[in-house]
Structure 1
Amino acid sequence: MGQNLIKPISNPFQNSSFLPPIKNTYSRTEPEETPAPRPSIFATLRKPPVAKANDFIPLFNDCITAASSRTQEYLLFKDPENKLCLPLQVFLMTYITQSVCLNMTDTFNCTAMTPEQRILLGPDWVWALLDKPSKNPRVQIAVQVLHLPEKEEAEEDSAPTEAFSETLQLAQMESSSRNMYEKLVDFCTSIGKDCYALFLFFGRKNDKGNIYGVLSNNFEAAIGKCNKIDRAFIENFFKGSRYLHTPPGMMQAVVTRKDHDPLTLMIKFS
């Protein structure tokens, strides 16, 4: 009897000829750039930030720093004849030049008075914080410069009589009943509480090389008490002052003051 021999079937996977060729279907490609997200419709509804009223303060401080530093060179200069009276012009022109370079004149401008205006009204110049877009002054600071007494006397003595024009002489006659301090206070009072009188001291008795100031929108209160407004009255504010503001601190106090509130500050500018 013959035996049926069953031959085992060989594993087809052992023979590579049974396998179809494997192709590498994955190729290395550079990643595609993700497109930038489109702005949300709500983003178009946002309004650009509006400049705040005190954005000009750092620029104002830069101008004051430049003007004060330049003026100190003249305050500390030893004049043999004691007749050099240029600091007022130096301070004002340095400030104006710097403010023009910083493009701040549309926000905070400076108007220098003519000799006639100075005699009639009192200020040497007026600073004004302007409203946009009307450019109307919102806050004004009328500045009167006070030199050391010996400097003021030298300036008055050095001015020849023929240098005064007829207009200047008429201005002096018109305002002869009041001193320069009272004229400045009257000028500010006529405008209102948003106009401040600033007496700027170019040197003081015990500190001839620095610049100080007394600012107030309430000097007229002294008139109501029958006090005479003169240099001694203004310098007396320093005696009771425990703190001297910086120029930016002064401006910050001015722009944040509530309407009709009195404000009086002592400032050191240099």
Structure 2
Amino acid sequence: MSALLGPAEVRRLASELDVRPTKKLGQNFVHDPNTVRRIVATAELSPEDVVLEVGPGLGSLTLALLPACREVVAVEIDPVLAKRLPETAADHAPELAGRLRVVEADALRITKADVGEPTAMVANLPYNVAVPVVLHLLAELPSLRTVLVMVQAEVADRMAAGPGSKAYGVPSVKVAWYADARRSVTVSRSVFWPVPNVDSALVRLVRHEPPADVDRERLFTLVDAAFSQRRKTLRGALASWAGSPDRAAEVVRAAGIDPGLRGEQLTVRDFSRILEAADHHL
């Protein structure tokens, strides 16, 4: 088993590397071994999984992942942290260090060519880029079957929300295109250094087939339009997308949906039906 990082070691490593967690990169390092053990347990990994970890930081979660899977591909944007991570693995888990591959890159720009075909993603994601990173990686890496991310609690609610709930919005619909999302446990802010001013939560995504045979990018454009003016009904919100309010109403009605509804009341399948109707009517 790998020895995990505690609070004193996290601070010692940060001091040695002269790393000051930056708000810009959304860095909050986990220093509680029980929390990383719980994350790995919740991920339900198999010994054959190749795990993508985004933003490994000082390596707290990385060390807990190494015994649980075949390989960890860690994507780190900070060159100082990326360079140190293999040494940390060698120090704490010498017999498992060969399972780690570090890729110094921006997760929002990586492709299959950079990371291969990981089967699972487990990450403590920077709050400011959590949703764009998850959506980008689901699109770029069809091999990803499961995703478990620790994100700001409010973001977790949005990713897993269903139609009609207060948290339901663009992220909810786009995530639902790729996967079933379930919000898991809330994580105390005290397990991080520095302590953030918000709570975190785990969200687990299990990939499914797309809910409809429509073009994803066109569907996402439609979803963005429907939510761009939250208080408007579909008739008004989709006016510029369809060409006019009357045209929007006609298409929505043709999809079997009431144009007096709002975007937040529709499922991803409903949006797909509107797009299918548009292809026949516009």
User: Which structure has more helix as a fraction of its residues?
Assistant: 2
TM-score by length of 1: 0.24
Structure 1 or 2, whichever has the larger Rg, is: 1
- Indicate the structure whose relative CO is greater, using CA pairs within 8 Å and at least 6 residues apart: 1
Q: Normalising to structure 2: TM-score of the pair?
A: 0.23
